Amino acid sequence: MSTADKRQQAVKTYPGLSLSKRCEILGVSRSTIYYKPKGESALNEILMREIDRYFLKHPYYGQERMRDYLNLDLGHNVNIKRVSRLYKLMNLRTIYQAPKTTTRDPDSYIYPYLLRNLDINRPNQVWQTDITYIPMARGFMYLAAIIDVYSRKIIAWDVSNTMTKEWVIELLEGAIKTHGKPDIHNSDQGSQYTSTEYIEVLKRNEIEISMDGRRRAIDNIYIERFWRSIKYERIYLNPPNGGVDLRNHVHEYITFYNTERRHTEIGKVPPDKLYFKKKVAS
């Protein structure tokens, strides 16, 4: 039995304690209890993998265009209802660049987007977070991550087969405990990030709240670039076989990404070098 399996078993053997308390004592994330990948029909799993690959390249593809791609280009026979359900299951939101003549409806977003034209010049000035679908050899899971926009360092991450507000709250609180709090926290308008409980954590820590405009193509560009990197450089090349294997894959890749992978946008250095150098200097 692996260490991860032993921990999961141990967590389940203390019925007198709350789930959160048992996980805290054992030093594990609550999501580790749910390492069994979610499953769909064989056809849906094929469709989801194909949608994921194509959507990463064409995030402006809505459900109707994706249905046409699946049917006309790949030879499937699926209706819009199935594609719509899979988009929701995969946490996909079609994006586009809104024309400059468009006037934003003040009721169409929860909090304003604060990063436009912002001079981001230090670590922990802005964190950005999101959730993405991860295809596996069998089934799928979700990966949530928080990125420091200045250094591109992945501050925190976790995998789970559910997308609950409790999951992302735990991730955020762990990141703050380890790295301190950011000035600004940016996310999309998903239900996890707009929940009362999640917003309360941000307010309690006096963190400014920024949210992507609906279907804005460039608002979440930093975390989207990371999703492309980890999927094309690791996940697609080595599909994980089970939840524990996925966690190992993600851990290995993010360690490489933070400590070795040079990023052109930040001066061809790894994120850790820029994050810790500037953080110590400040």
Instruction: List pLDDT tens digits, range 54-83.
Output: 998 888 889 999 999 999 999 999 999 999
- pLDDT value of residue 2: 43
Query: Would 118 be classed as within a structural domain?
Result: no
Please check whether residues 146 and 19 belong to one and the same domain. no
213 pLDDT above the threshold of 80 = no
- Does residue 155 sit in the same domain as residue 30? no
Q: Is 142 helix (H, G, I), strand (E, B) or coil?
A: strand
Return d(Cα 186, Cα 172) in angstroms, integer.
Answer: 12
Q: Do 135 and 272 belong together in one domain?
A: yes
In a domain, 266, yes or no: yes
Mean pLDDT of the chain: 84
Residue 145 placed within a domain? yes
Examine the domain organization and report whether 23 and 130 are in the same domain.
no
Q: Which helix (H) or strand (E) holds 155?
A: strand 154-160
Q: Are residues 24 and 162 in the same domain?
A: no
pLDDT tens profile 160-175: 998 999 999 999 999 9
Helix or strand holding residue 137 (H, E): none
230 in the same domain as 130: yes
End-to-end CA distance of the chain: 46
| Residue 85, in any domain of the structure | no
- Residue 58 maps to a domain: no
Sequence-distant (≥ 6) Cβ neighbours of residue 213 within 8 angstroms: 98, 104, 109, 113, 219
Residues 6-29 as b/e (b if ≥16 CB within 10 A, e otherwise) read ebbeebeeeeeeeeeebbeeeebb
Q: Say if 81 falls within a structural domain.
A: no
- Whether 110 contacts 214, CB under 8 Å: no
- The residue ranking higher by pLDDT, 147 or 98, is 147
Transcribe 15-79 into DSSP letters.
Answer: TTS-HHHHHHHHT--GGGGG-SPB---HHHHHHHHHHHHHHHH-TT--HHHHHHIIIIIT-----
Please indicate, yes or no, if residue 134 is contained in any of the structural domains. Answer: yes
Q: Are residues 25 and 133 in the same domain?
A: no
In eight-state DSSP terms, residue 171 is H
Residue 195 DSSP one-character state: S
Q: What confidence tier does 212 reach under pLDDT thresholds 50, 70, 90?
A: confident
Q: Determine, yes or no, domain membership for 248.
A: yes
pTM: 0.80
Domain holding 158, by residue range, is 126-281
Q: What is the pLDDT of residue 96?
A: 54
Claim to verify: residue 136 and residue 25 sit in the same structural domain: no
Q: Which CATH number does the domain housing residue 153 bear?
A: 3.30.420.10
Check whether residue 151 and residue 277 sit in a common domain: yes
Question: 154 and 28 in one domain?
Answer: no
pLDDT at 37 over 60: yes
- CA atoms of 155 and 171, how far apart (whole Å): 10
Question: Is a pLDDT exceeding 60 seen at residue 29?
Answer: no
How many structural domains compose the chain? Answer: 2
